[in-house]
Homo-oligomer: A and B are copies of this chain.
Amino acid sequence: MATTTTAIRMYDLAGADPARRFSPYCWRIRMALAHKQLSVETIPWRYSDKPAIAHSGQDRVPVIEDGDRVIADSWAIANYLEDTYPDRPSLFGGAAARAAARFINSWADTVQNGGTSTFVAADIVRHLDPRDQEYFRQSRAKRFGMTLEQLCANRDARVGAFRQTLEPLRTTLKSQAFLGGAAPLYPDYIVFGGFQWARTISDFALLETDDPIAAWRERMLDLFGGLARKNPGY
Contact = CB atoms under 8 A, between A and B. Distances in A.
Contact of A180 (B90, B99, B110): B99
A54 interface: no
Interface residues of A, number: 32
B99 A104 contact: no
A93 B94 CA distance: 8
A103 interface: yes
So how many copies of this chain end up in the complex? 2
24 contacts: A90-B96, A93-B96, A94-B96, A94-B97, A96-B96, A96-B180, A97-B99, A97-B100, A99-B176, A99-B179, A100-B103, A100-B104, A100-B187, A102-B175, A103-B104, A103-B107, A104-B168, A106-B168, A106-B171, A106-B172, A107-B168, A109-B171, A110-B168, A111-B168
The 5 lowest CB-CB distance pairs between A and B, nearest first, are A93-B96, A99-B181, A96-B97, A100-B100, A106-B171
